[in-house]
Amino acid sequence: MGIIALALFLLATLLLPRPALAEDGYDLWLRYRPIPEGEAAAYRARIAQLVAPAATPAQQATRDELLRGLGGLLGTAPATAEAVDADGALIVGTPSSSKAIARSRLATKDLGREGYRIRSVEIDGRKATVIAANDDAGAMHGAFHFLRLLQTRQPLDALDIREAPRTQLRMLNHWDNLNRHVERGYAGESIWDWHKLPDYVDPRYTDYARANASIGINATVLNNVNASAQQLTPMYIEKAAALANVFRPYGIRVFLSARFSAPKEIGGLDTADPLDPKVRAWWKAKADEIYKAIPDFGGFLVKANSEGQPGPQDYGRTHADGANMMADAVKPHGGKVIWRAFVYSHETPDDRAKQAFNEFVPLDGKFRDNVMVQVKNGAIDFQPREPFHPLFGAMPKTPLMMEFQITKEYLGFATHLAYLGPMFEETLRADTRVRGEGSTVAEVVDGSLHGYKLTGMAGVANIGSDRNWSGSHFDQANWYVFGRLAWNPQASSRDIAEEWTRMTFSNDTDVVQPIVAMMMGSREAVVDYMTPLGLHHLMGRSHHYGPGPWVQGGPRADWTSVYYHRASKDGIGFDRTTRGSDAVSQYAKPVAAQFDDAAKTPEEFLLWFHHLPWDYTTKSGRPLWDELVVRYTHGVEQVRGMRKTWDGLSGRIDPERHAQVATFLAIQEKEAQWWRDASIAYFQAFSQRPLPAGYAPPAHSLEYYESLEFPFAPGNG
């Protein structure tokens, strides 16, 4: 065949359709799609060879990820080499795993086990890039950071990056039951196929570990805090061990939620009293058994004496008694106990917001040194907006872990686009004032304020068996931002949104900017169309789907909406001032003083702390009722704007993901309107005031909204 014929044949072959990589979201932010040729060439010159050890599973995983990532981004993976022998080497490792790293003599002190440096260097006159760490875990984090530079199109010249996590434990909490139902899960069922474990180890578990490692998550609690004792039986320990084996090379430790009454349910004891020697011996033996199967087991997460769960108070003991017993059991193995502060007693209280504080502050200093107390961001329950939990700053002797909810139980499930970064950031930047101005929640959590020896942040996972992991493409950003903020609670949620958008959708500025803008405003839109001005917990009963401000009756007053909004003819809002439930006094004095005074309370918390008449004059000059209607309506309009933004990106995003997001935004607009209309219809019955001029009345009657039922809404507990 002549050379021309050959060229034509090759050209023809090139034009054959290449199978498109489906953009179904499975690859998350690790898509590694090819960088356009012009830019790729420059990167290739900088990454001509890879010098990375592969002597341990962690090193192997790091090298594999670099080869996969660079191969995808640059069209071809760099050659691997034992030593630098060309310009453009990428050298990865620790002083002990890599001779090249040892020779580079880069200082890695202060980086800890998980930190790393990325630096442009010259080695024997050759340009190279070094990713240096003290431990395989740090090298892996550095490798993901390096890939991120390419994914977000950063230059690789003159790199001098130094990163170390500001918290020790960056953890997902899976509320996954052993039957694969995920409590508050909106992304299918649990990815843990317990039935087929330990024999069948789904390759997806590895992708889960990769995704988490890429954002610095280093711990995972496999099962629901509403735990089954079965999780601690030998059969399920073996299954958990199989998962731990997958996660270990990625630097991720397995924890388990422990049911406090397990000694009775699976141990054959007649009590679970934490001071009973038999019970203590049982937990000790159980811990020994688990550590035999999972040598790097992280420890136990416990929800006790809360929402019907068993706990030490069943035996007249304190939370500290319970936590310390379990802490003693895991201590010899280096394990930890994470004890949740989300508790409330059987009797309905005057104000549920106060309970965790009242129960836990007296216990400060009474916990073992391997116990952490995990505190939700706010005192109620993961609402679209809550003021920071008063426990932050109030337990200087007890390491407090932050608990955020990544899954959108109260923010529209999977179909509403709500980027939670600004919400997490708002809490982290809140100033407790306990040691003067600037005593932020972030500084409590990262340990700097009180000198905690243990630090950490937990996120309730939004991960399920759905192809795109999180139920929607944008909910992946919430997993992402949680990990990045856990690594650095001082980071900017906007920067993280941009980083994620570049990795997930596009590096084109005219795509990145509108997406980031949309994300940054999205959570505020939810607040407005669901619970503006500090309203909270007005969702449908039990499943929390859709509006339910009329919810009342049932087993507990504090499981109803009317308990929280307290609307009547005279006004609306929960009086938590010194004249009311006095919840404000749980905060440091200057904060309490601010929240105690309606005029000084930030408007977004107004009805959280105050019961105000319908004609109360808000900052806009409008009466409260009018302001509520304006905010509700504004929320809907915001969603309409998001739809417009997204429609404008048609053709700039792959059609597969564009179509799904567009449909979800249409659902969100419909449901935002439903929220607005139902809420206004309901509250108008109390305010008995007309809508402000130009504001449309609800589309249906209040009776209609109240009649809607959703017995099969997903994620119910």
Q: What is d(CA 89, CA 99) in angstroms, rounded to the nearest whole number?
A: 14
Q: What is d(CA 94, CA 104) in angstroms, rounded to the nearest whole number?
A: 10
DSSP reduced 3-state for 120: strand
Structure tokens at 417: 């686009």
Burial 577-596 (b: 16+ CB within 10 A, else e): beebbbbbbbbbeebbebbb
Q: In the bound complex, what is the minimum distance in angstroms from residue 641's beta carbon to a second copy?
A: 20
453 binds a second copy (CB under 8 A): no
By CB under 8 A, name the one of 110, 122, 199, 703 that touches a second copy: 199
699 binds a second copy (CB under 8 A): no
Q: Identify the burial level of 211 via C-beta atoms within 10 angstroms of its C-beta, where 0-12 means exposed, 13-18 middle and 19 or more buried.
A: buried
Q: What are phi and psi of 49, to 5 degrees?
A: -145, 155
By CB under 8 A, name the one of 30, 47, 52, 178 that touches a second copy: 178
40 binds a second copy (CB under 8 A): no
Binding range to a second copy, per CB under 8 A, among 130-138, 199-207, 253-261, 416-424: 199-207
Burial 233-255 (b: 16+ CB within 10 A, else e): beebbebbbbbbbbbbbbbbbbb
HEC assignment per residue over 130-184: EEECCCHHHHHHHHHHHHHHHHCCCCCCCCEEEECCCCCEEEEECCECCCCCECC
45 binds a second copy (CB under 8 A): no
Alpha helices in 47-155 (DSSP H): 57-74, 99-104, 136-151
703 binds a second copy (CB under 8 A): no
427 and 387 Cβ atoms separated by less than 8 Å: no
Q: In the bound complex, what is the minimum distance in angstroms from residue 201's beta carbon to a second copy?
A: 8
501 binds a second copy (CB under 8 A): no
416 and 663 Cβ atoms separated by less than 8 Å: no
Q: What are phi and psi of 612, to 5 degrees?
A: -125, 150
- x/- binding map, residues 637-676, to a second copy, per CB under 8 A? -------------------x---x--xx-xx--x------
Q: What is d(CA 359, CA 313) in angstroms, rounded to the nearest whole number?
A: 11
Q: In the bound complex, what is the minimum distance in angstroms from residue 659's beta carbon to a second copy?
A: 8
Binding range to a second copy, per CB under 8 A, among 7-15, 49-57, 527-535, 551-559: 7-15
Q: What is d(CA 416, CA 418) in angstroms, rounded to the nearest whole number?
A: 6
Active-site annotation holder among 381, 425, 443, 446: 381
Cβ closest to a second copy, residue 68 vs residue 494: 68
By CB under 8 A, name the one of 42, 55, 56, 76 that touches a second copy: 76
345 binds a second copy (CB under 8 A): no
Q: What is d(CA 384, CA 40) in angstroms, rounded to the nearest whole number?
A: 42
Binding to a second copy, residues 457-476 (CB under 8 A): 465-467
By CB under 8 A, name the one of 17, 36, 125, 651 that touches a second copy: 17
Q: In the bound complex, what is the minimum distance in angstroms from residue 44's beta carbon to a second copy?
A: 12
43 and 83 Cβ atoms separated by less than 8 Å: no
268 binds a second copy (CB under 8 A): no
By CB under 8 A, name the one of 124, 160, 200, 600 that touches a second copy: 200
Closest CA to 611 of 560, 581, 571: 571
Structure tokens at 282: 């049982």
Cβ closest to a second copy, residue 174 vs residue 450: 174
Cβ closest to a second copy, residue 236 vs residue 388: 236
Binding range to a second copy, per CB under 8 A, among 70-78, 157-165, 305-313, 614-622: 70-78
230 binds a second copy (CB under 8 A): yes
Cβ closest to a second copy, residue 309 vs residue 660: 660
Active-site annotation holder among 409, 426, 499, 528: 409
Based on the residue annotation, tell me whether 381 is a catalytic residue of this protein. Answer: yes
Q: What is d(CA 165, CA 218) in angstroms, rounded to the nearest whole number?
A: 11
Binding to a second copy, residues 526-585 (CB under 8 A): none
694 binds a second copy (CB under 8 A): no
DSSP reduced 3-state for 256: strand
18 binds a second copy (CB under 8 A): yes
Binding range to a second copy, per CB under 8 A, among 138-146, 209-217, 410-418, 688-696: 410-418
Closest CA to 30 of 3, 65, 79: 65
Four-point Cα dihedral 277, 279, 283, 289, nearest 10: 90
Q: In the bound complex, what is the minimum distance in angstroms from residue 177's beta carbon to a second copy?
A: 8
Q: What is d(CA 222, CA 175) in angstroms, rounded to the nearest whole number?
A: 8
Cβ closest to a second copy, residue 251 vs residue 471: 471
Q: What is d(CA 322, CA 367) in angstroms, rounded to the nearest whole number?
A: 10
Cβ closest to a second copy, residue 293 vs residue 713: 713
Q: How many residues bind a second copy (CB under 8 A)?
A: 46
Binding range to a second copy, per CB under 8 A, among 174-182, 215-223, 309-317, 446-454: 174-182
701 binds a second copy (CB under 8 A): no
Structure tokens at 715: 């994620």
38 binds a second copy (CB under 8 A): no
Cβ closest to a second copy, residue 13 vs residue 509: 13
Where along the sequence are the contacts to a second copy (CB under 8 A)?
A: 3-4, 6-7, 10-11, 13-14, 16-19, 21, 71, 75-76, 178-180, 188-189, 194-196, 199-201, 203, 230, 413-415, 465-467, 656, 660, 663-664, 666-667, 670, 711-714
Show which residues are catalytic.
307, 381, 409
